[in-house]
Amino acid sequence: MRTQIAAANWKMNLSFKEGKQLIDEILMQEPEPAPGKKVVFAVPSLYLRTARKKIKDKPQYDVSAQNIYHKKSGAFTGEISAMMVASLGVGYVVIGHSERREYFNETNSILAEKINLALENNLTPIFCCGEALQTREAGTQNEFVASQLSESLFHLTTEQLLKVVIAYEPIWAIGTGKTATSQQAQEMHKWLRDVLAKKYGQSVADQISILYGGSVKGSNAQEIFSQPDVDGGLVGGASLIADEFLKIIRALK
């Protein structure tokens, strides 16, 4: 079975004290998820080292950066490199989140550079893709997400691709009043896997974990995660509440 992942994306939330308390509470109540399950805390860069220390002896837990810059090093004040993140013992990095694409104008080609740097530094990329409401209403969502994959990932070798986690974000269903059903999530996850299979073969596609990033909550996680091509979630707001995120962790296959 593919690795089932509950990834908590804190975004720009929580004080240092609040973040430590949140991790402590989760670890106290769920100290050792079952083999084949992974819990990842994508925390602000200031908190990476502390979060890494807290999960140091817990192999089913890991820490993720929320972003890296698309250059190795240099005069880029305020940015963080893949090497810097890796030097802290961090295992993952979120790349191409919809907010990064929208607010910071990150293109598929820039994200391809980030993917390369992450892999060069032994970081597991959580590569985000997904369509906005206008694209969904036009009925072109399949072609849109396929282009995101092809332009950012399809230069990779099979060995490299197998180190990537994909997260599908239905941007049209986040904060719009519209709701994505578990069936719609499954349809897109199946499509993404089919796109990967066409390029790399079905056996490779079947090994890639694909997470769902559309307002996962404790109340809907089990239904969403029960879909055959959904391998967990990239969770925003619900990951900031210990009891909610614990429900999500426990809903993993």
We report the CATH number of the domain holding residue 17 as: 3.20.20.70
Q: Which domain holds residue 146?
A: 4-250
Q: How many domains does the chain have?
A: 1
Flag whether pLDDT at 12 surpasses 90: yes
pLDDT digits (tens, 9 = 90+) for 155-164: 999 999 999 9
pLDDT at residue 61, rounded to an integer: 98
Contact assessment for residue 3 and residue 209, using Cβ atoms and an 8 Å cutoff: yes
DSSP letter string, 90-131: --EEEES-HHHHHHS---HHHHHHHHHHHHHTT-EEEEEE--
Flag whether pLDDT at 96 surpasses 70: yes
Instruction: Please list the active-site residues.
Output: 97, 169
pLDDT at residue 1, rounded to an integer: 81
Under the banding of pLDDT at 50, 70 and 90, the label for residue 245 is very high
d(CA 101, CA 83): 22
pLDDT at residue 215, rounded to an integer: 85
Once rounded to an integer, what is the mean pLDDT over residues 53-61?
A: 96
Flag whether pLDDT at 175 surpasses 80: no
**CB within 8 Å of 42: residues ≥ 6 apart:** 7, 8, 9, 10, 63, 64, 65, 66, 92, 94, 126, 234
pLDDT at residue 155, rounded to an integer: 98
Residue 78: Cβ-neighbour burial (10 angstroms; 0-12, 13-18, 19+):
exposed
**Token digits of residue 44:** 């602000």
pLDDT digits (tens, 9 = 90+) for 196-220: 999 999 999 999 999 999 889 999 9
